[in-house]
Amino acid sequence: MQSKLTLRLEDDVIKQAKIYAKAHQTSLSKVVADYFQVLTMEKKTSVIPPITRSLVGVLNDADIDLDDYKQHLEKKYL
């Protein structure tokens, strides 16, 4: 079921919103509805597997830089 909603916004905001909606070939109502849906969506938290979690920070004290990594790749693939 759809219902009517009245919003009070600055004229500039309304003008920019209408330009945005027209540029995206949609209605202003759809833009507002989509925005509210995004705002109210539950954030999905990614679960890091234990094996990956155990590797976090392993290389913090390592004396390795980008050049070392490039050399490793050259040796491995060339």
Top pLDDT among 33 and 64 is at: 33
> Where does the pLDDT of residue 12 fall: very low under 50, low under 70, confident under 90, or very high at 90 and above?
very high
The pLDDT, as a whole number, for residue 60 is: 84
- pLDDT over threshold 90, residue 18: yes
- Both tokens assigned to 66: 């980008």
Q: Give the residue-averaged pLDDT of 65-76.
A: 92
Residue 13, phi then psi, degrees to nearest 5: -65, -45
Percent of the chain topping pLDDT 90 = 62
The pLDDT, as a whole number, for residue 8 is: 96
